[in-house]
Structure 1
Amino acid sequence: MTADHNKNATDNLLLLSSTLQGLTSEGINARSERLDEMSALEIAQLMNSEDQTVAHAVEKVLPAVAKAIDAAHDGLAKGGRIIYVGAGTSGRLGVLDASEIPPTFSASTSLFHAIIAGGQAAIFEAQEGIEDDRAQGVVDLDAANVTEIDVVIGLAVSGRTPYVLAALEEAQKRNAITIGISCNPGSELEQQADIAITPEVGPEVLSGSTRLKSGTAQKMVLNMISTGAMVRLGKCYQNRMVDLNITNEKLRARALNLVRELTEADKEAALHALVEANWNVKVAIVICKTGLDAAAAFDLIQSAGGHLRQALNEAK
C-alpha cells in the first residue's frame, strides 16, 4: 500500500509539473531574465512596462465581462448574491472586492460574499495546501447556502485549482450562474464556467508570482463586474456615488457637495434637504429638484426601483 501510494503521489506530481509548464502564467518572461541583476529603478521600470500590457489583455475579454455584469445585475435584482470563491491571492482579491461594496454603495453586507480556501486565517497568512482540497470546496460552498438566484465567481489564475473547480461544480448543481476568471486559455475553469473571462497577461516578471500581472487583471475584472452591477441597480446618478453610507464628517461633507453639484442648490438649502432626508443623498436631491417633502421623495425613489434618474424623470 505504501509503495503504491508513493508511486501515485509521484505520478501525480510529475503530471502536475507538466501541466504547470504548459500554463502561460507559469512561463518564463524573457524581459526579466536579468531581474536579480537590475537596479531598483530598472525593476520598477520593467514592472511598470509589463503592467501596461494588462489593460490590453483585459480589453480583449470585455464582451465576456459585459455578460458577467448582466448576470451579476440580474442575480442581485432577483434578491440573490454575488459569491466569490478563490484560494491564495485570488481568494484575497475576492475578499477585497466584497468588503468594498457596502461602504461604496451603501449596500447590505450580505449581497457580496467571499469564500477563501482556508477561511479567515488565509486572508493574513498563506494556507496554500487547502487549494488542493476538492471536498472542502464543496463544504464551504454548501455552507454559503447557494441557490439558483446567486452568482458564483470562481477565481483561479491557473484555471485548475481543485478547491475552486469543486465549488463551481457544486454551484452548478444548485443551478447558480457561474463565472470563471483565470489567465490561462483552455483551462478547466474556462471550460466549466457558464461565463468564462480569461485575460491572457503572459508570463510574470517574477516567474510564477501570479499576484503581479495576473492579480492585477483579476482585480480589474472584479472592479468592472461589481461596479457595473451596482450602477445598473441604481446605485449611482451620472457618475456620482449617490448611495453613500454616511458614517463620518468627511462623508457628510461629500454628501453636501454632491447635493449642491447635482441640484445647483446653495449650501444652506442642500444642508436643510439632507437633514430632512436623514442624510439620504438621493432623497435630498429629489427634494431640492422637485420641492417634494422627504416622505414623498423617498416614495418616488422607491417606485423607481432606486434609480434616481428615473425618479426625477417621473417627477417632471
Structure 2
Amino acid sequence: MNTEARDPRYVEIDRWPTSVAVAAMIEAQISAVASLQSQTERIAEAAEGAAERLGDTGRLVYVGAGTSGRLAVQDGAELFPTFGWPHERLAFLMAGGIEVFTKAAEMAEDDADTARQEIAAAGIGRDDVVIGVAASGRTPYTLAAITSAREAGALTIGVANNPGSALLEAAEIGLLARTGAEVIAGSTRMKAGTAQKVLLNTLSTAIMLRRGLVYDGMMVNMKISNEKLQSRAEQMVQDIARVDTDTAAAALDSADLDIKLGVLLALGLSKVAAIQLLHAHKQNLRQALNAMQKATANA
C-alpha cells in the first residue's frame, strides 16, 4: 500500500533542523489536498446522489476506524450546528464505539462481524447514505459495514487513499484521495488524514447545498446557540430581506430565531403564511422566495 511505504526523501527527517522538517510536513500536506482535484466530478456525483437519496427521512451514516473514523465523526457532528441537519438523521459507526474518539482501540478495526451486526441493528435501508472512510481502503470493519449497507440498499460512498483498494470497489461510489507515502511512514493521520478531512468537508457541504440548506453562500439553516451566532443571523436577515438592523432583529425574534422564517417575516408575511410557505417548499428558502415573488408579480 502506498500509504504504508517509506518515502526516501524523508528517511533522515529526524536528523533535520526542526524548521526544515516542519516545512517538509506542510508541503506534503498541501500536496495531499491538491490530490483531490482529480476527484471533483466524483465528489459532485456523490453529493448529488446523496442529496436525492436522503429525501425527507434518510440518514447520513458515517463509518470508520482509528484516525479515519474520528475524522468521519467530526464531520458529521458539525452538520447540526452548521446546517441544522437533524440529530435523528445522523448515525456513527466507529470501530470500538464512540468512546475511542479520545482513546485509541486499534484492534477493533479488524472486527468485521461487529460491523455487520451494527449495520443490521441500525436498520440501514434504501433511504440512507453510508460513508465509509479508511486510508488503507481495506480496514475489515469499514469494508464489512459498507458491503452490508450496500446489500441493504443504502447508497454507499467509500473514501480511501490507496488506488484499487477493496473499499473503493465495494462502495457504489468510490472517492480516492491519492496521497501516497507519508512523511513519517504509515502515519496516516498526516497526509491521508488531511486529505480525508478536506474531502469529507467538501462532500457534506455539497450535500447540504443540494438539500437547499444554504442561500447565497449563507448558513440560513444554522442553529443559533450564542450571541455571536445571533448577530450573524440578524445580519443574514438584514442582507436577504434588505431591511434595517432593527427590523431584522425584530423579525428574527418573532421567528423564534429561525433564520428562514425571519427573512419572510421581515419581508412582510404573517407568521402563519410564512410557515405555510416554507412547509410547501420543504423549508427551501430560495424556492419560497421565488414563489413569493411570482405571487406578487401575478397579483
Shift of 1:236: 1.1
Correspondence for 1:4? none
Correspondence for 1:154? 132
Q: Give 1:40-59 correspondences, 5 Å limit.
A: 40-59=18-37
Helix, strand or coil: the match of 2:87?
Answer: coil
Q: Give the whole-Å Cα distance in 2 for the aligned partners of 1:97 and 1:30.
A: 33
Q: Give the whole-Å Cα distance in 2 for the aligned partners of 1:45 and 1:56.
A: 17
Runs of 4+ in 1 over 3 A off after TM superposition: none
1:173 equivalenced with 2:151 (yes/no): yes
Deviations 1:102-155 (A, max 9, x none): 111122112222111000221111110111111111112222211111111111
Correspondence for 1:72? 50
Q: Give the whole-Å Cα distance in 1 for the aligned partners of 2:257 and 2:104.
A: 41
Pick one of 189, 196, 208 that aligns with 1:230.
Answer: 208
1:83 equivalenced with 2:54 (yes/no): no
Correspondence for 1:125? 103
Q: Give the whole-Å Cα distance in 2 for the aligned partners of 1:146 and 1:234.
A: 24
Please tell me the residue identity of whatever aligns with 1:155. V
Shift of 1:78: 4.4
Q: Give the whole-Å Cα distance in 2 for the aligned partners of 1:197 and 1:92.
A: 18
Are 1:269 and 1:288, in contact at CA under 8 Å, matched by a contact in 2?
yes
Q: Give the whole-Å Cα distance in 1 for the aligned partners of 2:269 and 2:160.
A: 49
Correspondence for 1:206? 184
Correspondence for 1:114? 92
Q: Give the whole-Å Cα distance in 2 for the aligned partners of 1:42 and 1:215.
A: 21
Helix, strand or coil: the match of 1:189?
Answer: helix
Q: Give the whole-Å Cα distance in 1 for the aligned partners of 2:87 and 2:260.
A: 20
Shift of 1:255: 1.1
1:299 equivalenced with 2:276 (yes/no): yes
Correspondence for 2:112? 134
Pick one of 53, 62, 70 that aligns with 2:40.
Answer: 62
TM-score, normalised to structure 2, is: 0.94
Correspondence for 1:19? none
> Structure 2 vs 1, CA of residues 273 and 78 (structure 1 numbering), >3 Å: closer, same or farther?
closer
Deviates most, 182-191 or 39-48: 39-48
Q: Give the whole-Å Cα distance in 2 for the aligned partners of 1:121 and 1:280.
A: 33
Correspondence for 1:13? none
Higher-Rg structure is: 1
Please tell me the residue identity of whatever aligns with 1:246. I
Please tell me the residue identity of whatever aligns with 2:287. Q
TM-score, normalised to structure 1, is: 0.89
Are 1:73 and 1:233, in contact at CA under 8 Å, matched by a contact in 2?
yes
Correspondence for 2:296? none
Q: Give the whole-Å Cα distance in 2 for the aligned partners of 1:217 and 1:112.
A: 23
Pick one of 70, 74, 98 that aligns with 2:76.
Answer: 98
Please tell me the residue identity of whatever aligns with 2:285. L
Give identity over the alignment, percent: 38
Q: Give the whole-Å Cα distance in 2 for the aligned partners of 1:37 and 1:198.
A: 33
Task: List alignment gaps of at least 5 residues for structure 1.
Answer: 1-22
> What's the RMSD between the two structures over aligned residues?
1.3
